[in-house]
Amino acid sequence: MIKLPKNEGLNIVPFIDIMLVLLAIILSISTFIAQGSIKINLPSSQSSINMSEKEEKISISIDAQNIFYVDDKKISLDELKHTIDNLNPKTIVELKSDKDSKFESFVKVIDLLKAKKHENFQILTEKKND
């Protein structure tokens, strides 16, 4: 067993250094995990309103690279068509399109909804601050 002289205490500075490094690693990993959703910059609108959360919904998103997502899961245009074909007519479709995405991608989704005669959808925007 190691004997310490009576006047010397245990040096805990290296222990604190190790704990700070571990804390930094944990914080950076937890921040990465928390940002798992798709980043979409919605266009702003002055007439934007909040909708109720009670009805059955499906979310269709288009990111800046024109990639389609259904409920935050990447999907191809053919799979999107199949998903829309199997929708209940009362299901609300939330359309989120990044302001930097091509308008053509947004029109493709609207065209698929019109072909199915599904008119129960809403276009999501951000409230414009004056």
Q: What is the pTM of this model?
A: 0.59
User: 68-70 and 73-75 as β-strands: parallel, antiparallel, unpaired?
Assistant: antiparallel
Q: Does any domain span residue 36?
A: no
Q: Which domain holds residue 82?
A: 44-127
In a domain, 37, yes or no: no
Residue 88 resides in a domain: yes
pLDDT digits (tens), the chain, 130 positions: 677 666 667 788 889 999 999 998 888 777 555 455 666 666 666 665 555 556 688 888 888 888 899 888 888 989 989 988 888 888 888 888 888 888 898 888 888 888 888 888 888 777 666 5
CATH of the domain at 66: 3.30.420
- Residue 69 bridge partners (DSSP): 61, 74
Note whether residue 28 is domain-resident: no
How far is it, in rounded angstroms, from Cα 128 to Cα 130?
Answer: 6
CA-based nearest residue to 40, from 120, 121, 125, 112? 125
Q: Give domain status of residue 107, yes or no.
A: yes
What's the number of domains the chain is made of?
1
CB-count burial class (<10 Å; 0-12, 13-18, 19+) for 123: middle
